[in-house]
Amino acid sequence: MEHIDNQLQTLIKNEQIEAFRDEFLDLHPYDQAVFFMEQPEDIRLRIYMYLSPEETANFMENIDLEDIEPFFMEMDPRFAAMVFADMSTDDAVDILNELEKDAVVSFLTIMDNKAANEIKQLLHYEEKTAGSIMTTEFVAIYQTKTVKDTMQYLKAEAPVAETIYYLYVVDQDKRLVGVLSLRDLIIADDDTLISDLMSEKIVSVSVAKDQEEIAQMMRDYDFLALPVVDFQNHLLGIITVDDILDVMDEEASDDYSKLAGVSDIDRPNDNAFISAKKRLPWLVILSFLGMFTASLIGQFENTLDEVAVLAIFIPLIAGMAGNTGTQALAVAVRGLANGDYGKQGKMKLVLREAGTGLITGTVCGLVITIIIFLWQGQFFLGLLVGLSIMATLIVATLAGSLVPILMDRLNIDPAVASGPFITTINDIISILIYFGMATAFMSFLV
């Protein structure tokens, strides 16, 4: 690939336009996008001159959304508008949602009316819903047509459709009434009516349905495409599997950022100020919780004065509580995000995590008791720390599984129960357990 890149760069610099076009257009659109993104601005500006808007749109669809804005802003506005018009409508909408509103209005004004109207239809849908990710470039066929008429219609419409593997059947009012595979259409007799051939068992989604739920549906049913309808069952568009792959990647990044206590995942081109702005909210909240933990330790000042060695094991207790809580949190959040748990499944998860906490707590408690006895020569000190760890791991594991389930019940994204949040809560719990037990059994330690 490096050899090809060097060759393409040489052709551009020598202004060998036809040779460059032959080499570049012979590449897969993804490879075209990779080459394009690696070039400096002066080379990219020449590429815009050497390619048509349609050819540019073909590889622009393979560039990640978070990286694409600068490229459209450096293009000539009229050329950029034509690129948008030649892109799949859903991809164009995704990119325009990343741009400033003034830029969006400008591009739509320049664009031809047909393309602009199609994009405007999708732009008004709320982000992360079926309406915002669907494409209107689909083939709908009428139930009253014959196979022969439909095949002729398909030949005319297929070049501009996103996919024709599923054919959605509508009535005269454009309501979705059935679905038909391309295979069934091809092998059917020419005079067969579509209504006799179609399947009436249709799985569709509302235009307002959340994209994460749609991703789960397409995974469960193994669909290549899914029809989108309004409240009257009119067919509005389709969602294809390539769009869902983007959704899954986006949702995974979003959940990861929340688990890390970041409001929005950092992007490579974010400056230090933007990154800090995304991370600060959780850090400020957690700092207050940390101050509460510190004041809590202060309440046991007399206990520490009597047995100073207790301070040595505070990081051990708190660290193990945070780690086991984060493990349980990751399992619970992933299961909830994938829709693996119903009501009974959630209870089973809690019971399993309680058992896990009991086993891991008992084993770790015994190990720590023996180590402290051999190290410090104090059996009751080892027993105290061991029992504290056992109790802490049980409670921390339960908290890690219960908190996201509770948030899910309140219709809050379970990923908001971030790792730092659970860790800090478990710090407080572990300190209470540790010093509470130490205060209760002080007579055995002094």
Domain annotation covers residue 78: yes
What distance in Å separates the CA atoms of residue 152 and residue 139, rounded to the nearest whole number?
12
Instruction: Please list the rounded mean pLDDT of every run of 10 residues in the chain (446 residues).
Output: 79 90 92 92 93 93 86 93 90 87 89 87 84 86 92 84 84 92 90 92 91 85 89 90 79 58 53 68 70 72 70 80 79 69 70 87 90 85 87 86 78 62 77 82 67
Domain annotation covers residue 49: yes
Tell which of 225, 255, 285 closes a domain: 255
Q: Are residues 284 and 433 in the same domain?
A: yes
Q: Are residues 284 and 189 in the same domain?
A: no
pLDDT value at position 252? 62
pLDDT value at position 123? 84
Domain annotation covers residue 334: yes
Alpha-carbon torsion (391, 392, 395, 398), positive or negative: negative
Domain annotation covers residue 267: no
- The model's pTM is 0.58
Domain annotation covers residue 192: yes
Q: Are residues 125 and 51 in the same domain?
A: yes
Closest CA to 423 of 309, 283, 251, 296: 283
What distance in Å separates the CA atoms of residue 266 and residue 279, rounded to the nearest whole number?
9
Three-state secondary structure readout of 167-232: EEEECCCCEEEEEEEHHHHHHCCCCCEHHHHCECCCCCEECCCEHHHHHHHHHHHCCCEEEEECCC
pLDDT value at position 45? 93
Q: Are residues 99 and 231 in the same domain?
A: no
Alpha-carbon torsion (244, 248, 253, 257), positive or negative: positive
Range of the domain at 203: 140-255
pLDDT tens-digit series, residues 60-70 = 988 988 788 89
Q: Are residues 286 and 372 in the same domain?
A: yes
Tell which of 196, 228, 255 closes a domain: 255
pLDDT value at position 262? 52
* 63 three-state secondary structure: coil
pLDDT value at position 264? 54
Q: Are residues 229 and 283 in the same domain?
A: no
Domain annotation covers residue 265: no
Q: Are residues 300 and 415 in the same domain?
A: yes
Q: Are residues 127 and 156 in the same domain?
A: no
Q: Are residues 342 and 434 in the same domain?
A: yes
Q: Are residues 9 and 119 in the same domain?
A: yes
What is the total count of domains within the chain?
Answer: 3
CATH of the domain at 14: 1.25.60.10
pLDDT value at position 142? 92
pLDDT value at position 179? 92
pLDDT value at position 417? 53
Q: Are residues 439 and 290 in the same domain?
A: yes
Q: Which two tokens stand for residue 124?
A: 């008004």
Tell which of 132, 166, 201 closes a domain: 132
Q: Are residues 151 and 121 in the same domain?
A: no
> How crowded is residue 434: how many other Cβ atoms within 10 Å of its Cβ?
27
